[in-house]
Structure 1
Amino acid sequence: MIFEKKEVVLKNGASCILRSPLIEDAESMIDYLKTTSAETEFMVRYSEEVTMTIEEEGSILKRMIDSENSIMIAAFVENELAGNASISCVGERIKLSHRATFGIAVKQKFWGMGIGDILLSEIIGKAKEIGFEQVELTVVENNNKAINLYEKFGFVKCGVIHKAFKLKDGRYYGEIIMIKSL
């Protein structure tokens, strides 16, 4: 599904363009994934695990654009990919089709500018338009900034997966499951 280009103003007064990432953004998306994965332990992968080719990422972006029940919104600041959020249907079966999964990341140098709030607000609006009844996410248990953001938007904690992440140094992180009814 396409998210039409929209300009918003960030907390610092900077202009931010929101739009669907296109196939020609594949290389920027890969760089963004590598950067965000290296900046925090809270991402699902390490940066060296971002191994897709430009063609593979382009195919992912095309599937999102062509989808009727998935959407990705990218935030660009001065033509740099600063953040990204997406929703996808949990499953195509009738019993699951009312549920959407949600993911988001913002590059660290853009933290505190309101990009997360903007992306979350837009994606929730799109989830409602699509007809989802519930949005679900998981978040690392000590990622307090993200948890606070999600709670601000009405997400509630409904469970924990203990030892969900095992880091290279042997430490574990639990993962909190959160949902928002629409």
Structure 2
Amino acid sequence: MFVIRGNPIKFNIRNLSYVIRSAKEEDAKTLAEVRLQIDGETENMDREMGEAYIDEASFKQLIIEDTKSPYNLFLVCEANGKVVGFSRCEGSQLKRMSHKVAFGVCVLKDFWGYGIGTNLLKETIKFADTNEIKKITLNVLETNQKAIMLYKKYGFEEEGVLKKDKLLSDGNYYNTIIMGRFNE
């Protein structure tokens, strides 16, 4: 297995210029702040603001480990000199599960609608395809229809449902959709 972590890729969508690149250790402080803010902006994430907080040192360690691992990919999106979103693709060194990775993505609300999530996903798919990864998995809240449509557009299919998986601020329980993309 080999890893492709190429040069930054530039995008210009609706008057917003941004770059998608591999995470660097110096991004750690900003990543801690961005993740905390994103958790407070949407209920699509697993966490509420401040829960399961990852500090600068922990992000730095994660970046170091992901950079060394042929199974992991940590990407950031930088706009106006600031990290505005990121994605992680995490695999396993266990032989029986080394063919698959789990994908997660988050983008600051002010930057929704510029294709950032889509481009992070596309780069992750390239990484998986290039590295002979046979399956990408992800979880998505049933109410996040835009994300579900995006994932289906890029070859993901529904594999299952975790019923009443999340309790949101409206007091109701919601299902989590488990999706997978297979690379034969």
Identity of aligned residues (%): 30
Q: Which moved more, 1:172-181 or 1:13-22?
A: 13-22
The answer for the alignment partner of 2:149 in structure 1 is 148
Within a 5 Å distance, the mapping from 1:1-182 to structure 2 comes to: 3-89=5-91, 91-167=92-168, 170-182=171-183
CA 1:56/1:180 → structure 2, altered by over 3 Å: closer, same or farther? Answer: same
Whole-angstrom CA distance in 2 between matches of 1:87 and 1:73? 9
Residues 107/2 of structure 1: CA separation in 2 closer, same or farther (3 Å cut): farther
Seen in structure 2, the aligned counterparts of structure 1 residues 169 and 142 have a Cα distance that, compared at 3 Å, is closer
The Cα of 1:170 is off from its aligned counterpart by 3.5
Give me the whole-angstrom Cα distance separating, in 1, the residues matched to 2:101 and 2:174. Answer: 24
The residue type paired with residue 41 of structure 1 is E
2:89 counterpart letter in structure 1 = I
User: Aligned-pair distance for 1:23?
Assistant: 1.3
Residue 15 of structure 1, CA deviation: 2.0
Q: Contact conserved, 2:36 with 2:53, CA < 8 A, in 1?
A: no
Matched-pair contact (CA < 8 Å) for 1:2–1:65: no
Classify 1:78/1:19 alpha carbon distance in 2 versus 1 (closer, same or farther; 3 Å): same
RMSD: 1.6
- Measured in 2, the distance between the counterparts of 1:112 and 1:144 equals 14
TM-score, with length taken from structure 2: 0.91
Give 1:13 deviation, angstroms.
3.6
**Partner AA of 1:73 in structure 2:** L
TM-score by length of 1: 0.92
Unaligned runs of 5+ in 2: none
